[in-house]
Structure 1
Amino acid sequence: MTSSSTVLLTGFAPFGGETINPSWEAVAALDGCRIHGHRVVTRQLPVTFGESLKALQAALRETSPSLVICIGQAGGRAQLSLERIAINIDDARIPDNAGKQPIDAPIVEDGPAAYFSTLPIKAMMAGLRNAGFPAEVSQTAGTYVCNHVFYGLMHALRNKRNVRGGFIHTPYAPAQAAAYPGAASLSTEVVTEAIRLAIRIALTTAADSKLAAGAEH
């Protein structure tokens, strides 16, 4: 595969006692499909600090993509969250799937404090909303494995100006939300179609839209 024809899409394994992870369920459905002339290749990442980045780096080497979007679960959120910023810190509220719980640890020693997504996140937000999908620009990807992978991705792409990358969080799946009264959810089918559209927008948008999508808090 050439760098001009491949989209790398990743999701995560289940964690925190869950039996599914909606990020992987939605991503897996797109494996092998073609979007705007690009073939989508999917990979599942482990919910472990360090190992998740090794798996991501292997996938980058194997696929040489022109676009990379990592998807993760953010239970409690009501919309698809297009992440703006990855920060250079691991601060785990709960242990990962290997029992590791780093606290106030840099992801990359002497790395920059943060990286910004290179996806056209505001154009993606507008396009998703226009198509009826709940979407927002998020100012934080947390400090768990999702942010760990987001930062690691952008660090890996820092010198590859022709490769765009970023991160999207998805709410619980309905089966998960049933265990948390009042929690928002989106079906796997809806998230899959939203990701399909997000990829198309990312592939066809050269410059991001100038839209207000900030946060007061």
Structure 2
Amino acid sequence: MKRILVTGFEPFGEISTNCTELALRELTLADLAPDYQVEQLILPVDYAAAQAQLGDLYQQNSYAATLHFGQSGKAKNVEFEMFAINWKHVGAADPGPLDQTGPHAFRTNLEHPSWLDAMRSADLPGEISFHAGTYLCNAVYYWSLQQSADVSNPGQALFVHVPLAAEQGPMASPHWPVARIRTMMATTFTWLTNQVAD
């Protein structure tokens, strides 16, 4: 049975919750894909801890695809991240390359036009972004795309940035309701299973 890993993040910064955790904990994505073994994971907001946790999973398991969600205080709509770059800066004690010998960037092989179609069909505004920043979102994406290349399953990872949730309080602007974020996650997950079905 094919395996899919889906992740969100713990809270960080000045907001005491993370909308990806709020939404993902209320979803059982395995119900949407009985032919897959689905793992849902909330990652720590720490470079070393997140890399170690992902490294353990990748060492023990082979995934058909990985799907990562992260919140963005700047996003008005959900954002399909095209590239992960080999650089860490925000929140890093030692800014610089994520991997001294790794490529400058990885690109997902998952197709953004069909994802945008899926978003429109669910009445969800989606956009394409060309890299995921220089914080942990980008690092997690880079490590996942690197892993998928290492196991001859190149590009079978995706990172989606999510607007903050209204339930996160007055600092969450622009924002979506958590229920809408859950719908987006479920729609993206169903789209992903269709992409890797063959």
TM-score, normalised to structure 1's length?
Answer: 0.82
1:172 alignment partner, SS class: strand
Amino acid at match of 1:48: D
- 2:162 match: 170
Match of 2:25 in 1: 28
Conservation of the 8 A alpha-carbon contact between 1:30 and 1:42: no
Q: Does 1:197 align with 2:187?
A: yes
Partner of 1:81: 79
- Residues 2-51 of structure 1 show CA distances to partners (whole Å, capped at 9, x for unaligned) of 4x1x2210111100122111112222223463323324311111111122
Q: CA deviation at 1:90?
A: 0.5
Distance 1:81 1:20, change over 3 A: same
**CA RMSD across the alignment:** 2.1
SS in 2 for 1:33: helix
Q: Number of residues paired by the alignment?
A: 195
TM-score relative to the length of structure 2: 0.89
Aligned residue for 2:164, secondary structure, equals coil
User: Tell me, which stretches of 5 or more residues in structure 1 are unaligned?
Assistant: 207-217
Alpha-carbon separation, structure 2, partners of 1:39 and 1:205: 16
Runs of 4+ displaced beyond 6 Å: none
Aligned to 2:45: 47
Compute the displacement of 1:161 (Å): 3.6
Q: Tell me, which stretches of 5 or more residues in structure 2 are unaligned?
A: none
Q: Which residue number in structure 2 is paired with residue 209 of structure 1?
A: none
Percent pairwise identity: 24
Which has more strand, going by share of residues?
2
Conserved in 2, the CA contact under 8 Å of 1:88 and 1:112?
Answer: yes
Equivalent pair of 2:164/2:175 in contact (CA under 8 Å): yes
For residue 156 of structure 1, the aligned residue among 147, 150, 165 is: 147
